[in-house]
Structure 1
């Protein structure tokens, strides 16, 4: 195919998720799936972007047609999109009479029913002051996120050409001025455009990535991102409040409910928070109730049984604010405020989430220390297998005491037979190459039948000869780990009897703590129900009292 603005022939191609981060020359978005490429220039195009019309009539600018330009007709080459307000330098649709610009992505938006001045009246008492245009994504290749909450926009959403934003209908109905209890702040917060280049939310401490936030007009640099501003304070039981006060954290926690069901993750364990959210305003910390009640001390952790490890955070004077977690090897700098457990005598430090995750510990004859199985998806450290020297990108075994690591596929004594949930027959371990067809060369592409991603012919795999079904070793991770747990004291064992006793003792301690937290959560629900019953009785008594006063 010959592109309208490229001198070379474009070749059809397909990119996959694990390929490099190729971006379209027209819209600058990442390319996944079918595309065009120029091998000489190393340029890429989405197939729809390579076939864009030179001129369009768009409902956002009915007065004149828009012409496709490779760059803005200014010396800087920059322009501001009339829909999203972003400054761009790539392709755009332009009206030379009105100097109106739409980037290629926003030009793909389709107003519903062709209406551009349809006013969606918000439910709140403070409606948006400008016309909101109902739109949908016209092309499947472009992704849009809400200018308020930063979540993906699907189906119908609303666009304001005056404010240059696109929002969910539910977000547009949120009040544009609110009060918030953060630090007992007395001034209202107003939804405004973010002026500073780097603004941080004063509740969660994260960088505000969207162009709008709630700000205090009277206090400089006091911002709340939209999601944190939507949280509503809630009451907790007196017993639970006493439990939290006894926690080693030096500042009080405030409880919030999440009426808009925005996704929040716990700063400590990084798991989603589905119930009450607890926050520390001073530390900009958001946690589960169970994580807010972390044990102050773990007496015999399986990877450091010789001394207790104690809970610390950046506000603990004796803690090391900069450290590398001994389990996940992630580095924490001074700007982070993660809780962690630490033994000051041995300089042994682990994240709280790593300390309580209790990974499987296995002792192999190939290494003198126990190895922990780690499935690290958010680690900023890089690990390399000591057997094959390749990078460990999925679950792998690592020594806590040194840098020794092994891929799951590189451990000795893999189970000879496993089951895969996607196949009905048992799979047998194959250490020799398994090709799809006998006449294929070693440089051909081979794929795993379980995850449908590429597999390396030289790596061990699991194979069903009857169906010619081949799976990666890491695609049957649960089966391999179960085998290692059940394996006796032959070539793979779970450590000495003393090590096993320590592990079991630590597991029992954590189980008891989890049961205590469950009891507290159950009691919290009961107290809330009692509170609602008492409030109903109080309302009934108040109504009767008012009636008696009127009759007298």
Structure 2
């Protein structure tokens, strides 16, 4: 049957079933492969999905009540949209028709229509989707990394909407109430809506660019879906005396589990000054980490313990490996197995303890206190190099993680590369000192002198005044401290994280990475 034009020069034919010609055709509005039912103009090769063809020019979306969403044939003309738009529902790029709002919200046609039907509970409109609810037992690699378009938490956390339909939604996110009253904001109800104003959650203080939030726009108060579902009161094994109440951490109490302090909502017993971060309340019962051959099992501790991985005290929550007889902090499960520290030329490995024949007593190379060999440390046994776990890990700029398979690679030694700045020694005195040399930084020969200069002269290497032995040029006003002239042309700097060889360069104006001063003269440069 012939139908209306939908913005095309010719009348379009309605196709209830997909034809051979449309098998590889793309919809002129959404750009996706055409599937039945659809409209087409075979003469021009013009195709439209039925849903795209009949999409209204405006939608009053229940999840965005401020303004209507307006259908445009192209994204707005601005630098922000130069490469297309990112859909605020599925988080994927679009370059063709878009439902746009001046608030900055953008949606694919199918995403706008689908989310509108979900919000209005028009499940009859979704009957074309086969097997809409899938059990969390059915998993594959793609699903393991997928996230729910509503709450942006892992899709496999609970029963979810069919992945094959192109939409990722938890069943519980489809069934959300459009409006709730929450104890954390008693002035007004919180309304379910798209996070068009990009609010951070007032409870966990974490941002969420896309997805649904419960929000009071007038008060600029928003809660993530997950945070809105939190219980206002819990009983917890870490504090059996009283229930813990979810409240703002006005007293800035540290969390009894992770020992960190933050000004946000916590579960708290005010009378006992006992607080737990929301994310610390329910640690996973089992953690499997690739660096350890056995799983770690959650173990609630009513008293403190010493962590076998780092040697520091822990409270309440521990993880144990009964096979290896070790007990560790949660965060220490994820300690990197091998790291490259700037203080040492070999990679250093984490170990839970050291045997008596391997080590008797050694000091940490950072804090110089004794390293307890019965607890974890990082070490290079070949060089008898040891550091406390916390001394190196807390200094993030001092190390990087090394892949296990690369740990046996031999480091490039300075003896393997040309390192001299003096390119040629022309004359030496009886003591063997180089008295006349050629230097990479200057075209003329330089002569060694120990005469004190009465006029102020500065070294062309370090830019400081000349006061000791120096090399000078008889043809021009060029001076170098003897120590500056003898600086290695190529070297490694212990505080330089990547540990690549750095090269000495001259006549260069630069900003020092350490002191941030702009200087001229010699500098060490890392090409990486």
Interval containing the TM-score (normalised by the shorter chain)? 0.3 to 0.5
Normalized per residue, the structure richer in strand is 2
Normalized per residue, the structure richer in helix is 1
Answer 1 or 2: higher relative contact order, Cα 8 Å, separation at least 6.
1
- With normalisation by structure 1, the TM-score equals 0.32
When Rg is computed on C-alpha atoms for both structures, the one with the higher figure is 2
- With normalisation by structure 2, the TM-score equals 0.33
